[in-house]
Amino acid sequence: MSLFNCFLSEYAYICVYHLLYLKAQTIRQVILQLSGPHNMNFISEERLNQLMADELDFLFIMDMDGKILFTNIATHSLLGYGNEIVGCNFISLYLPQHREEVGVMFPLAAKGDVEHCPFPLQKKGRGVVPVDTKFYVGWWNEENVLVAVATNLSAHHFTQEVFYHIFNSAEIMMVLTSTDGRYIYNANQTFRKASGYTIEELSGQELTDIGLFLNEERFHRIMTRYVKTGTAKGEATVKTKSGELMTCLFSIENIKISDKDYLFAVATDITGRKQVETKMRYLLYRQKLLADVAQLFNTTVDFNDTINKVLHLVGMHSGVSRINITKVIDDGKYYSTIYEWCAEGISPLIELTKRVSVDSIPDWSKQLSELGSVLIDFKNVTDISDDLKSFLQQIGVKSVLAYPLYVQNIFWGFIAFDDCVRCKVWQPEERHLMHVISSNIASALDRKAYIEQYKNSELRLRMALAGAKEGMWDWNLITDEVYFTDSCFTMLGFDAGEVEPTSRHWNELVHPDDWPLAQKAFAEHRLGGTEFYEIVFRVRTKDGGWKWILDHGKIVESDTNGVPTRAVGTHIDMTQQKETEHKLQELLTTKDKLFSIISHDLRGPIGSFMQVIELLTSDVEIAPEMQAELLNELKSMSRNTYYLLENLLNWSRSQRSEIEYAPRMILVNDVVTENISLLKGTALQKDIILKFDTEVYVNAFADYNMVNLILRNLLSNAIKFTPQGGIIEVLLTHDDEWVAVTVKDSGVGMSQEVVEKLFERDHYHSTYGTNNEKGSGLGLMLCSDFVKRNGGSLRVESQLGKGSSFIFTLPLHGIPEGESLVL
């Protein structure tokens, strides 16, 4: 009897990890009838009940997430689980050390990519049941389900004949060995077919002699883990008899038969899955490589350094020995290598290939031009010229892949990937990747050539622009790259090269209020709405200020579809012109205001003067009472006209910066008292009470004349807009830095809309007082200017019909840094 038959006879009741062939066929037929929503009616109640009432094999019906919906009798009787298993996750039925692997397999089983799971099921409490689980996708209770049929492989359930049939007809690979895994006792037909070995070649042999495992050290580590824990699982690469490699997912258990211990290994071929995983990893790495290359080429660092980094990335990814970029020189007569990367231990050739005659290797140029690439593998090469073969052998190349490089639509040179160690076989996806890399490098070289050409043609223009204090920009609308001359930034106070010349950095310098207008203007030009693009906007300078820039440009290039691809333009410093325009506008405003006052506010009082004087000097007899009243009216008009003229002259001088600011320590009380005395008579005419607490003494560091004029105007306005019998109060307060002077009246007050417009430069608010007193609105404008020149601020609190409070601040010790404090 052969060694195989001896072991088969002795261990007929050994615990096996596979299906019962006959029972599996029956179960498979039933599950196939579960494969669609319309097939449920074709399942006989008898057969379905037979499967669900099976007392030996296990049936699990789950939703697509693995939640158990139904189990059969065997699950309760042999595994010990009751109804509590419904609703649990199927993965929880496995041992902890197997759950991670089952978790990976489960979603693949739901997609139909995995059919078998070789791991044993865990009993409730302690112990396991060896099974071979097969998955099916089906339809149950009007929903998609995943069905798992776990065939019970416990040896005591089978006779010797059944075991023999199961072992050889099983669809899963099974091997019986000694407990140390050293000797093979038996292997089933599935394993023999997959490995290519006969039973005579395996039975009784040592694993090390056969060389079954590719990595012997890994196998020994697995066995060490098995010895410690009594079980082991994992992946192993098996080398078949023909030399092919097969990746297996396996599980091994210790089995006791007739008081003797043996080891059974159950394995599933996952080579296809591993190949898919490897390909996915390759695709992900390829995407990352292309992204890294694109990112490097999009930077503005040294081009040579960028090329060298790209070649290093590609070289490490492809595993080649050497990559070189070669250019044609001297009108296409010679090849010259200008960039090169070499793997560790590979000799560089850049110095030896500086001038290689094109005519010496004509077949190389022919393949590049006609085929679009060169692919040579000396192990499989059949058609190659002697000249090219000799040249490649001289430089130690065993295989090479090369692509032509075109710059500005002209053959510029080529990029070659050399392997000097082995005859590398380039897979289609690898060739495609190298072709894409070559195209990226060609694009970078094309861009570099264009920039160099542009810089040469720009030199004369740069000199002209520098003399005119202008900057120039060149915008690639496809890549969003912008080239700026140094003048674009030096005119803003930056040193040449201090600001990165990119559109993003320039956009950050443009005033946020002006940027939308600039975008809108260029968008309109881009759509063809304007012949050129032009706008004036503010740009932040290095010291934090703002300069006005005239941005003028035009789209100069478009693609074949008419889509704009390039625009060029200039930046001109318009700050001085803008400041001049602003000053001119202020002068025009001042002139208009002067004419307005002269024509309206002065014309009326002077006309009244003339009429009263003419009446008084005429021959008409005037009663003494009327004559006194006319003289008082004449006195009031002359006083108001004087104040108007004084404000007019002071405001005009202030606008021309002719009033000198001369601050000193002053007693604010004296200024208030002086102005109350001056205006007391005017207030008495309207029975207005002027209140001032003279017991509070406050000093300030300010210009006395300016403060005097501020108080006189505020008190005059308060009298003007306070009705008969009203009250005007002057209050003084202070803190550690500021003095606050408040002029509060019980007058007519103002609406919030009027308050907001009081100090606008282009809006002079003037209205009549309670006794029809006329004003020009200049007084408040003059007060605002003088308060600011003293470092303080002026604000108004007012309610219509209840009165107003004008509060201005003065520094206590001098103008502090920062904004003034409003009390």
pLDDT of residue 41: 31
Q: CA 333 to CA 349: how far, in whole Å? A: 19
Which is higher by pLDDT, 599 or 89?
89
- Architecture of the domain spanning 468-573: 2-Layer Sandwich (3.30)
Which pLDDT tens digit goes with each residue over 611-644?
777 777 777 777 777 777 777 767 666 766 666 6
Q: Which residues contact 102 (CB under 8 A, 6 or more apart)?
A: 91, 94, 117, 119
- Architecture of the domain spanning 280-450: 2-Layer Sandwich (3.30)
Q: Say whether pLDDT at 111 is over 50.
A: yes
Residue range 42-70: mean pLDDT, rounded: 74
pLDDT of residue 30: 41
Quote the CATH superfamily of domain 4-11+158-269: PAS domain (3.30.450.20)
pLDDT of residue 795: 92
Computed on alpha carbons and rounded to an integer, the radius of gyration of the chain in Å comes to 49
Q: CA 426 to CA 417: how far, in whole Å? A: 11
- Architecture of the domain spanning 21-152: 2-Layer Sandwich (3.30)
Predicted TM-score (pTM) of this structure:
0.35
pLDDT band at 437 (very low <50, low <70, confident <90, very high): confident
Angle 749-754-755 from CA coordinates, rounded to 5°: 75
Domain boundaries defined on the chain: 4-11+158-269, 21-152, 280-450, 468-573, 580-655, 664-811
C-alpha closest to that of 593 among 788, 776, 755: 776
Q: In angstroms, what CA-CA distances link 37 with 34, 51, 69, 290, 457?
A: 8, 19, 17, 46, 75
670: number of Cβ within 10 Å: 12
Q: CA 241 to CA 213: how far, in whole Å? A: 11
Q: In angstroms, what CA-CA distances link 554 with 339, 417, 533?
A: 38, 43, 6
Which tokens belong to 564? 């704009």
Which residue bears the tokens 């007569």? 333
Q: CA 29 to CA 27: how far, in whole Å? A: 5
The class that CATH gives domain 580-655 is: mainly alpha
User: Which long-range contacts link 782-786 to residues 24+ away (Cβ below 8 Å)?
Assistant: 782/647, 782/650, 782/651, 782/654, 782/709, 782/710, 782/713, 783/709, 783/710, 783/713, 783/714, 783/808, 784/759, 785/651, 785/654, 786/654, 786/703, 786/706, 786/707, 786/709, 786/710
pLDDT band at 431 (very low <50, low <70, confident <90, very high): confident
Q: Do domains 21-152 and 280-450 have the same CATH topology?
A: yes
3-state secondary structure of 214: coil
Residue range 767-774: mean pLDDT, rounded: 54
Judge contact between 263 and 255, C-beta under 8 A. Answer: yes
**How deeply is 14 buried, as exposed, middle or buried, from its count of CB atoms within 10 A (0-12, 13-18, 19+)?**
buried
Q: CA 505 to CA 468: how far, in whole Å? A: 24
Pair type for strands 356-357 and 334-342: antiparallel
Phi, psi torsion values for 442, nearest 5 degrees: -60, -40
Q: CA 80 to CA 87: how far, in whole Å? A: 16
Judge contact between 399 and 422, C-beta under 8 A. Answer: yes
Judge contact between 777 and 668, C-beta under 8 A. Answer: no
pLDDT band at 579 (very low <50, low <70, confident <90, very high): confident
Q: Which residues contact 127 (CB under 8 A, 6 or more apart)?
A: none
Q: Say whether pLDDT at 436 is over 50.
A: yes
C-alpha closest to that of 616 among 626, 606, 603: 626
Which pLDDT tens digit goes with each residue over 64-84?
889 999 898 888 888 999 889
How confident is the prediction for the chain on average, in pLDDT? 78
Q: Say whether pLDDT at 12 is over 50.
A: no
Judge contact between 698 and 705, C-beta under 8 A. Answer: no
394: number of Cβ within 10 Å: 9
356: number of Cβ within 10 Å: 18
Pair type for strands 689-692 and 727-734: parallel
Which is higher by pLDDT, 573 or 285?
573
Residue range 533-541: mean pLDDT, rounded: 89
Which is higher by pLDDT, 399 or 168?
399
**CATH 3.30.420.40 is the classification of domain 664-811:** no
pLDDT of residue 402: 92
Q: CA 267 to CA 213: how far, in whole Å? A: 13
